[in-house]
A and B are shown apart, each in its own frame.
Chain A
Amino acid sequence: DAGVIQSPRHEVTEMGQEVTLRCKPISGHDYLFWYRQTMMRGLELLIYFNNNVPIDDSGMPEDRFSAKMPNASFSTLKIQPSEPRDSAVYFCASSAGRGRGGYTFGSGTRLTVV
């Protein structure tokens, strides 16, 4: 099992550009979560999916953020347009069921918007 795979590992972009972060969950996991980690706010849940359907997106900070899960093996988090305050580490995590055994996290994408 390759675990949760995120790409890219690092992303540096200019303010105003579109950024797309990618995630491949563990095969067979039916829940997928996107988290953002910053020094100021810690780990924040942005959105999560169950069986590819968005269940709760109340953590998405603004309309500039959008997430999709077109199939069970792929999800994207898009920021358009990006701003410097979006700089953070973005984690994807997946779980079988609702996470009774804990999430499995990807290694994160460090996003820097200059």
Chain B
Amino acid sequence: AQTVTQSQPEMSVQEAETVTLSCTYDTSESDYYLFWYKQPPSRQMILVIRQEAYKQQNATENRFSVNFQKAAKSFSLKISDSQLGDAAMYFCAYRSATGNQFYFGTGTSLTVIP
């Protein structure tokens, strides 16, 4: 099975600053999808951003962007102009293009300091 590693259990950022959350994954496949999910205290899992492995261009969604390094199997999330509402647990996830199951990392807890 594929493994997804988030090496930062906790991160903190000052409001309005930028923070980067790390994610690496292990796979022998060439075609797959990567995702970042946000889980605030409300418990709801919210899709933040997705990346298709065959696309070289890094995905961007407003203040959220990724740095996708396919050769290094790295998929980091950058949050710009951090807001208090960004405080949450963030999960990186992998899905094979041919499979159905998502593989999730263990999560990074992000604290935003006012």
Contacts and interface: CB of A to CB of B under 8 A. Distances in A.
Interface of A: 31, 33, 42-43, 45, 48, 50, 55-56, 89, 91, 93, 98-105, 107-108, 110
A42 B104 contact: yes
A108 B100 contact: no
Interface of B: 33, 35, 37, 42-47, 50, 52, 91, 95, 97, 99-102, 104-107
B101 A107 contact: no
A99 B107 contact: no
The 9 closest A-B pairs by CB, nearest first: A105-B45, A43-B104, A102-B47, A107-B44, A108-B43, A98-B100, A42-B106, A102-B35, A45-B101
Contact of A43 (B33, B46, B91): B91
Nearest to A107: B44
Contact of B102 (A45, A50, A56, A108): A45
A107 B46 CA distance: 10
Q: Which of A45, A101, A102, A104 has the most B CB atoms < 10 Å from its CB?
A: A102
Contacts of A31: 100
Contact of A42 (B33, B47, B52, B107): B107
A110 B43 contact: yes
A5 to B, nearest CB: 12
A98 B42 CA distance: 26
A31 B95 CA distance: 14
A99 B95 contact: yes
13 contacts: A45-B101, A55-B100, A98-B95, A99-B33, A99-B100, A100-B95, A102-B37, A102-B47, A102-B50, A103-B45, A103-B102, A105-B44, A105-B46
A50 B99 CA distance: 12
A43 B91 CA distance: 10
Given A98-B95, A100-B97, A105-B37, 12 more contacts: A45-B101, A48-B100, A50-B100, A55-B100, A98-B99, A99-B95, A99-B102, A100-B52, A103-B45, A103-B102, A104-B47, A108-B44
Contacts of A56: 100-101
